[in-house]
Amino acid sequence: MTFDTLNLHPKILQAVVKAGYSKPTKIQLDAIPEILKGSDLRASAQTGTGKTAAFLLPALNRLMNPPINASKGPRILVLVPTRELAMQIATQTEKYSKYLSQVKTVCVVGGVPYPAQVRKLSRPYDVLIATPGRLIDYIDRGKIDFSRLEMLVLDEADRMLDMGFVDPVKKIASCTPSSRQTLLFSATLQGIVIKLSEALLKIPVK
C-alpha cells in the first residue's frame, strides 16, 4: 500500500514524496485513516516507527478545511515532554507543510527568550508544538487563544507523565474545547497513561 491510498491532500502527498517516503509504516497505515475519520486515538508506537508522520499528516490534512472561527490561535496542538522533541516535530511539520503556504507553525519551549515567542504567538498561526511547562506560562499570561482548537496530540505520553507533567497536561486539556479530537501516542499503554487517556479521550480507537 502507498500513501496515495490514504486520502491525503495532493499537496501533502507532494511533500511526502519530496521527503523521500514511498510506503507508509504500520503505525501510519493503522492510525491515519482513523484520524481522518475524526476518531480519538490511543496508540502504542516507539520512536523510529514513523509515528510523527502518523499524526502530523492527517493533522495537516484537517487544516485544508476552513477554520471553525476567525481567531488567531492554533487549530492543532502537539504536546511533547522535551524541548528537543518539540523542535524535531516543528522541523517535520515544516517539511510536510512545504507546499501549504497558508499553514503557519509556532514552537513554544523552555530555554528560549519569551519576547521572541510572544511575537510569534501574537500573529495568526495554525499548529502549536509545545512543552507543558512553557505552555502553561503562556496560558496563565493570557497569551493563548484555544477557541478554534480542533486537535490535541499528546506525543510520548508515558515519558511526559514520568517527568511529572500529569497535572499540567490535564490543566492544558481543560483549557481546550471539549469538541476537540484527541490523539495519544505512547511507547507503553499501561497504568497512569491509560488513566490519563480515559480522562481525556472519547471512545478512543486503539
Mean of the per-residue pLDDT values for the chain? 93
Closest by CA to 169, choosing from 81, 55, 39, 107, is 81
From the number of C-beta atoms within 10 Å of its C-beta (0-12, 13-18, 19+), residue 37 rates as exposed
- Given this model, what pLDDT does residue 199 score? 87
pLDDT > 90? residue 187: no
Residues 6 or more apart from 165 whose CB is under 8 A from it? 81, 132, 133
pLDDT band at 57; cut points 50, 70, 90: very high
Please give the Cα distance from 97 to 13 (Å, whole number): 10
- Given this model, what pLDDT does residue 71 score? 82
pLDDT band at 140; cut points 50, 70, 90: very high
Please give the model's pTM, rounded to 2 decimal places. 0.95
Q: Please name the amino acid found at residue 55.
A: F
Would you state the cell numbers that stand for residue 129, as one nine-digit string? 508544538
pLDDT > 90? residue 179: yes
- Region 163-181: what's the mean pLDDT? 94
Please give the Cα distance from 162 to 198 (Å, whole number): 17
Residues forming beta bridges with residue 205, ordered by sequence position: 41
The proportion of the chain whose per-residue pLDDT surpasses 90, expressed as a percent, equals: 73
**Predicted confidence (pLDDT) per residue in 68-115, tens digit:** 887 889 999 999 999 999 999 999 999 999 999 889 999 999 988 999
Q: Dihedral angle at the C-alpha atoms of 5, 11, 14, 18, nearest 10 degrees? A: -130
- Given this model, what pLDDT does residue 195 score? 87
- Given this model, what pLDDT does residue 137 score? 94
**Predicted confidence (pLDDT) per residue in 7-49, tens digit:** 999 999 999 999 999 899 999 999 999 999 999 999 998 878 8
Angle, in degrees to the nearest 10, between helices 10-18 and 83-96:
110
